């Protein structure tokens, strides 16, 4: 018997279809805050912020890091168009920690040429990668 709570989720990146499947819920970070989407959600389009995407499917939960993009929410389908999406195993934790340190140093420097929004965005992306990788390592 088909589960009537399921809807289609597609996460698309410029270089691949990152995820495609039937899910019961997806949780995302948007510029409006964190949202959880179930089937029959009011149709809307939102801008993504770097964050952890939690996909709840019949076989359990999956987490991924997503960096910038858009989400289109329809009653029967959610499409995420992401700049970058990464599974925990694809994340280079050493590189993410180095990026975090660089962003923090830039922000602490108070340099007049500093683009603060860009530094904060870089820091957020690094922190999301670290969070997703650490979450996966904690489960093992």
Task: Summarize pLDDT for 39-79 with one digit per residue, the tens.
Answer: 999 999 999 999 999 999 999 999 999 998 999 999 999 99
86, 104, 122: which is the final residue of a domain? Answer: 86
Q: How many domains does the chain have?
A: 2
Lowest mean pLDDT among 27-41, 55-69, 80-94, 99-113: 99-113
Q: Does residue 47 form part of some domain?
A: yes
- Length reported for the chain: 140
Predicted confidence at residue 74, as pLDDT, reads 97
CB-based contact 102:139 (threshold 8 Å): no
Q: What are phi and psi of 4, to 5 degrees?
A: -80, 0
Average pLDDT over the chain reads 90
CA distance 18 to 15: 9
Predicted confidence at residue 1, as pLDDT, reads 46
86, 112, 128: which is the final residue of a domain? Answer: 86
Look up the domain containing 124 and give its range.
91-139
Asked if 70 and 112 sit in the same domain, the reply is no
Predicted confidence at residue 63, as pLDDT, reads 95
């Amino acid at each position: 018997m088909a589960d009537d709570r399921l809807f289609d989720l597609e996460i698309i990146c410029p270089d691949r279809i990152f995820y495609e499947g039937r899910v019961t819920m997806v949780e995302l970070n948007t510029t409006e805050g964190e949202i959880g989407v179930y089937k029959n959600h009011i149709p809307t389009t939102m801008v993504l912020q770097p964050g952890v995407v939690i996909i709840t499917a019949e076989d359990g939960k999956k987490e991924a890091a997503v960096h910038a993009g858009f989400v289109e929410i329809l009653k029967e389908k959610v499409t995420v168009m992401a700049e970058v999406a990464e599974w925990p195993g694809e994340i280079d934790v050493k590189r993410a920690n180095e990026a975090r340190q660089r962003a923090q140093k830039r922000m602490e420097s108070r340099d007049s040429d500093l683009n603060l929004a860009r530094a904060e965005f870089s820091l957020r992306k690094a922190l999301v990668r670290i969070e997703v990788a650490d979450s996966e390592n904690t489960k093992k």
